[in-house]
Structure 1
């Protein structure tokens, strides 16, 4: 049985979400703050985390969890719909769902995350690449040679894999990998993506692994 750690301080929404998830066959531990997270986080399969909480907010709690448990999926819930809030949430979390939401959508997103992070499923195949996600070893299946990434290339590609199939803005990528706000006009990200493409793409001038989403950012799609 999948065990969910659900952190939500509002009684009404917490009660119906917990009941709905249990009715769907999940085991749910519901906490109303981040105080006791450490007691449960190592034993659960996925975390649902509200942003507005007493004490530490959900962003701070989520970043702490992800730092220690990188392969534990986190789904953020928030009434905040501003782009900057979503960008901050997706800088560490694996999905972001805004309130109000339908329980069917929450369940569907959980299933997608669980499939992506399921135990034992540590190999992804994207185009000609075979990716061992636990240590991010990348094999070119055309010649069976390992592709060596260095420095920021490694962390940049790791960020893409953690957010597979999501369109990521330049701001999200820069803050997620460099840990600093993106400054419009800065070419650092673009240069690193060019170097990364030279290593992983069959034809870097016509990339199929790292897609450019014009006017927004980039995406790696399985």
Structure 2
């Protein structure tokens, strides 16, 4: 599961962002100041920092994080829209998002940063598949062939891999991949999962890779 270190002192905004990101399948460590941030940096996959904080400001905290862990993507959030502030933030941070913002935009920027900072290629063994995490190449070990996915199939499978072992609701999957609110009764997700299963499962009628969790959603389990 992707772990987000989030620092925001305003309770209403912090609670709203934390809840939204957790609904999308992220694990969120929310702090109201940078006082204990260094304890969370080693385990964090990405940091999201407000600029205006009690004590050290977000710029100072972000610079310290980058010095401690240079490959940690840092996204700055701020109501300060002046060019000078953005330039200062982008002198060390990897993205700068101004308030107010839509949750879908924040989630999209998080995904972009995670892809940009993805670690060296790892190979996941999922039943009969070998999945190369860096470029998401999928090899069928039974015959050595590479499985080709379409754009949305690729994005959907990538979302599963980013949230490996986690049960994902239809709402999480649809909003995470399509970037839109899921409407009950919409068959788009179900159709894409069916086509994805036809490509990656040994027996699509009895799927082992993408499990159906009855009444909740789906899961890819290692």
After TM superposition, the structure 1 stretch with the greater mean CA deviation from structure 2, 159-168 or 60-69, is 60-69
Contact persistence 1:33–1:54 (CA under 8 A): no
Contact persistence 2:48–2:75 (CA under 8 A): no
Q: Secondary structure, in 3 states, of the residue corresponding to 1:152? A: helix
1:162 Cα offset (Å): 1.2
Ranked by relative contact order (alpha carbons within 8 Å, sequence separation 6 or more), the top structure is 2
User: Does the C-alpha gap of structure 1 residues 67 and 30 become closer, same or farther in structure 2, counting only changes over 3 Å?
Assistant: closer
User: Structure 2: 5+ residue runs without aligned partners?
Assistant: 11-30, 53-57, 78-96
1:67 Cα offset (Å): 1.9
**Per-residue Cα deviation, 1:99-153 (whole angstroms, up to 9, x for no partner):** xxxxxxxxxxxxxxxxxx6x33422111110011111110000111111111311
Q: Secondary structure, in 3 states, of the residue corresponding to 1:70? A: helix
User: Does the C-alpha gap of structure 1 residues 162 and 33 become closer, same or farther in structure 2, counting only changes over 3 Å?
Assistant: same
Look up the match of 1:201. 201
**Per-residue Cα deviation, 1:152-180 (whole angstroms, up to 9, x for no partner):** 11111111111111111111111111222
Of the three residues 84, 93, 108, the one matched with 1:63 is 108
1:48 Cα offset (Å): 9.6
Look up the match of 2:158. 158
Contact persistence 2:210–2:220 (CA under 8 A): yes
Take 2:189 and 2:4, find their aligned partners in 1: how far apart are those partners?
35
Look up the match of 2:9. 10
Take 1:166 and 1:71, find their aligned partners in 2: how far apart are those partners?
23
Map 1:1-222 onto structure 2 (within 5 A). 6-10=5-9, 13-18=32-37, 20-21=39-40, 31-33=49-51, 36=59, 43-45=70-72, 55-56=99-100, 59=103, 60-61=105-106, 63-70=108-115, 72=117, 119-222=119-222
Look up the match of 1:79. none
- Matched residue count: 170
Take 2:204 and 2:48, find their aligned partners in 1: how far apart are those partners?
47
RMSD: 4.1
Take 1:8 and 1:187, find their aligned partners in 2: how far apart are those partners?
38
Contact persistence 2:155–2:177 (CA under 8 A): yes
Look up the match of 1:93. none
Larger Cα-atom Rg = 2
After TM superposition, the structure 1 stretch with the greater mean CA deviation from structure 2, 160-169 or 35-44, is 35-44
1:65 Cα offset (Å): 3.8
